[in-house]
Structure 1
């Protein structure tokens, strides 16, 4: 995998972890659907000047426009709404651990649909990454539980993302990542507006303080930039190789907690970080020549 593609995927993984911490901070004040709406409304607004500067329009053949819009509704609308609901009851660390199943689910979905060959190296790399995430969060998963509804909701969100990740790739190969991301995001904003109306956002938003708005802006701007990089990476690497970088998300949450909230970092998180990096190395080992040729041809379309 080229360094630029790996860096783009890594940035997305880091942003996921940071956004989970920020979401946990503000979701109780605005509601899950309203927060998701604000997240991607801001994200789309961030894309507008980039679209104008690059000359990239939102025009797309109808045969591709409808599927991209539907994928966007699931990826941005359904996934994030489910994730926000889960984060309303599940601590950020535990939520990040559950969501780290994303790479494994992506690998299984891709293999089931015949989009990617399941190899021992990929399987070992993804499982090692998930084990590392578990080690990194092991000392933060204690405490009284509230059942498994929140965790199940987050797992369903990860499954939605895995399916979309696999199904997006043909459209990213045919069109620019920027156009695909903008169309998908705009479709999700329209969908989320209907869900958010039930939460009465006009009553909740004026009560937000400066810190709450700062968290929302951070989530929105980060999501807009990270998703374009995510799609760009998907156009140049297989879904499993891209999504394995989501293992950096929980580790990021731990590091941000230590830096911003003075939370202690023990040896388990450090051991988890080593395992995550080892898993990335195993899963991202050099592909065979046939696979490299196929990926290059796809990127050229």
Structure 2
């Protein structure tokens, strides 16, 4: 690709990644608002069912034929891993550790992505990129403040920490392995099919729990929150895959550090949650880390 064209496209990819990081943080706040009206698996099922429905028509129009048989299972597996298994690990871990500590552990996704990418040879670890990624993790820790130090719900807190780390590893693996399919097929087509596969997985999980029908008693505000979560997830997921298709996995996933920052800011604005002075320090660290992670090596 011509360098004069590649630079604007790469910039758009980073903007899309940043917008997705903000969207994830916004969805977390909406989830906190509505989660007491349902259960985590049912909410995840509704989230991605709505997302799939919104992506279906544009994906159908953009399709250039069907997927190759050899690609069906890998793309479905990536969707199930990103939207199903990742959530199962995260929700399991949250039974043992505070959400702030889980958010800090999940902030290691860019570091895991960079390490995995280097191991399989799809991207190179550099000093500036590594420093930037580590600084964003430190920034998330500052932004979450003393909540990171809250004691675990049980003595088996290490089980929760391992579960959330497994959740982060799922995100890292998907971020690295999506790229070949994003080059081979239209991004909307991949987005819709991967999300469809996750909906089937989550429907099965909710059915096994017997919660799918019994957990649909939302207030009007609750349904609006669910619609926001589902609709924004469809847009966010498309932007995420588009960014992964046009930039390196680490440079995309590092913007996940904006999620807890956005969540804390919106939580203070909409849910009257307190913000400590450490939040500003964390925000500065995240911004500096993002800048370093995208600086070219000298």
Q: TM-score, normalised by structure 1?
A: 0.88
Runs (5+) with no aligned partner, structure 1 = 289-301
Pairwise CA distance, 1:108: 1.0
Residue in 1 aligned with 2:263? 253
- CA distance in 2: counterparts of 1:105 and 1:202, whole angstroms: 34
- Asked whether the 8 Å contact 2:38–2:216 carries over to 1, the reply is no
| Equivalent residue in structure 2 for 1:12, among 20, 36, 43 | 20
Residue in 1 aligned with 2:32? 24
Runs (5+) with no aligned partner, structure 2 = 1-6
Residue in 1 aligned with 2:80? 73
- Asked whether the 8 Å contact 1:58–1:183 carries over to 2, the reply is no
Residue in 2 aligned with 1:280? 290
| Equivalent residue in structure 2 for 1:61, among 68, 78, 85 | 68
* 2:191 is the alignment partner of 1:181: yes
C-alpha distance 23-174 of structure 1, shift in aligned 2 (>3 A) = same
- Asked whether the 8 Å contact 1:93–1:253 carries over to 2, the reply is no
Q: Secondary structure at the match of 1:204?
A: coil
Pairwise CA distance, 1:187: 1.0
Pairwise CA distance, 1:84: 3.3
- CA distance in 1: counterparts of 2:278 and 2:146, whole angstroms: 7
- Asked whether the 8 Å contact 1:40–1:189 carries over to 2, the reply is yes
- CA distance in 1: counterparts of 2:286 and 2:42, whole angstroms: 33
- Asked whether the 8 Å contact 1:23–1:87 carries over to 2, the reply is no
| Equivalent residue in structure 2 for 1:141, among 127, 132, 148 | 148
- CA distance in 1: counterparts of 2:91 and 2:164, whole angstroms: 8
Q: Which runs of 4+ in 1 moved over 6 A?
A: none
Residue in 2 aligned with 1:107? 114
* 2:272 is the alignment partner of 1:265: no
C-alpha distance 106-58 of structure 1, shift in aligned 2 (>3 A) = farther
Pairwise CA distance, 1:101: 0.9
- Asked whether the 8 Å contact 1:34–1:199 carries over to 2, the reply is no
> Deviation digits for residues 242-298 of structure 1, max 9, x if unmatched?
00000101101110111012233232101110110100000011368xxxxxxxxxx
> Deviation digits for residues 121-155 of structure 1, max 9, x if unmatched?
11111001101111111233344421243333222
